[in-house]
């Protein structure tokens, strides 16, 4: 099914159309807050801004509240409208997406707390440069997957899954560097461990963004591509577009 064939607003009931559109818009609003949380958490970490890190940590409740509100609305629509086909896929994709968005928010909170700790006890010099690069990549993934959800772009969603491989490689490299720092100077163990936790949170954000990209593909193509290899996902998408 192509994007042109995917009609999310073709119902006789204008109220149903409005409900579906409202759900989509609320997901994007939640995504905007989560994207801000990730961006500011990375900035707090790389600029040693403890106050900003604490602000990020303190705002996590807003993300949680949005998830609960959207989830409740989805349940009401399921009960009232009993949607089928594409509409049911939309609701299911939304429920899964907001779960991953909430978890991205949790990881941003962790980074914020680590940034606050590291501001007063910084890691070894030079250790933050690769973290900044990884943070920019992960932030871009969150932005792009929300854009793919808004535009129903399966190709861009697939590209985000490809980016997750790069994030994993960066995480492995930084982890090895952290281990080297701790072995060379035991006095760095505490700040380097905090940095390692923050980098692990970034890696998890990449995983969650990749999960959302799979839900976007499911919404558009009607095919569940979870637990499949990247090559299989590419083949599925190429087959559906041919």
Give the CA angle between residues 68, 90, 238 to the nearest 5°: 135
> Residue 239 pLDDT > 70, yes or no?
no
Helices of type H across the chain: 14-46, 50-58, 60-81, 85-120, 128-151, 154-184, 189-221, 230-241
- Of the listed ranges 101-105, 128-132, 159-163, 235-239, the least confidently predicted one is 235-239
| Residues 6+ away with beta carbon under 8 Å from 22 | 73
CA distance 102 to 7: 27
What pLDDT score does 24 carry?
94
What pLDDT score does 225 carry?
76
pLDDT in tens, 62-91: 999 999 999 999 999 999 988 888 899 999
- Of 194, 210, 34, 211, the closest CA to residue 106 belongs to 34
What's the average model confidence in pLDDT over 144-162?
93
pTM, full prediction:
0.89
pLDDT in tens, 203-232: 999 999 999 999 999 998 887 777 666 666
- Of 46, 43, 64, 65, the closest CA to residue 55 belongs to 43
Of residues 34 and 236, more confidence is placed in 34
Question: Tokens 């041919």 belong to which residue?
Answer: 242
- Of 158, 141, 155, 145, the closest CA to residue 27 belongs to 145
């Amino acid at each position: 099914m192509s994007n042109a064939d995917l009609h999310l607003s073709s119902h006789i009931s204008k109220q149903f159309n409005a409900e579906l559109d409202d759900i989509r818009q609320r997901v994007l609003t939640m995504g905007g807050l989560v994207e801000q949380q990730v961006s500011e958490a990375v900035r707090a970490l790389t600029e040693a801004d403890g106050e900003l890190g604490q602000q990020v940590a303190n705002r996590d409740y807003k993300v949680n509240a949005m998830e609960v509100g959207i989830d409740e609305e989805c349940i009401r629509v399921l009960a009232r409208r009993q949607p089928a086909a594409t509409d049911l896929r939309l609701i299911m994709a939304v429920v899964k997406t907001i779960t991953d968005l909430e978890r991205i928010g949790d990881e941003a909170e962790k980074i914020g707390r680590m940034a606050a700790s590291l501001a007063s006890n910084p890691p070894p010099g030079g250790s933050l440069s690769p973290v900044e690069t990884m943070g920019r990549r992960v932030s871009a993934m969150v932005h792009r997957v929300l854009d793919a959800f808004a535009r129903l772009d399966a190709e861009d969603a697939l590209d985000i899954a490809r980016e997750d491989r790069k994030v994993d490689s960066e995480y492995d490299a930084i982890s090895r560097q952290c281990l080297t720092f701790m072995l060379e100077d035991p006095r760095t163990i505490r700040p380097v461990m905090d940095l390692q936790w923050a980098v692990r949170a970034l890696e998890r954000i990449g995983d969650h963004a990749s999960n959302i990209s799979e839900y976007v593909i499911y919404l558009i193509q009607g095919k569940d591509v979870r637990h499949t290899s990247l090559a299989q996902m590419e083949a599925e998408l190429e087959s559906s577009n041919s």
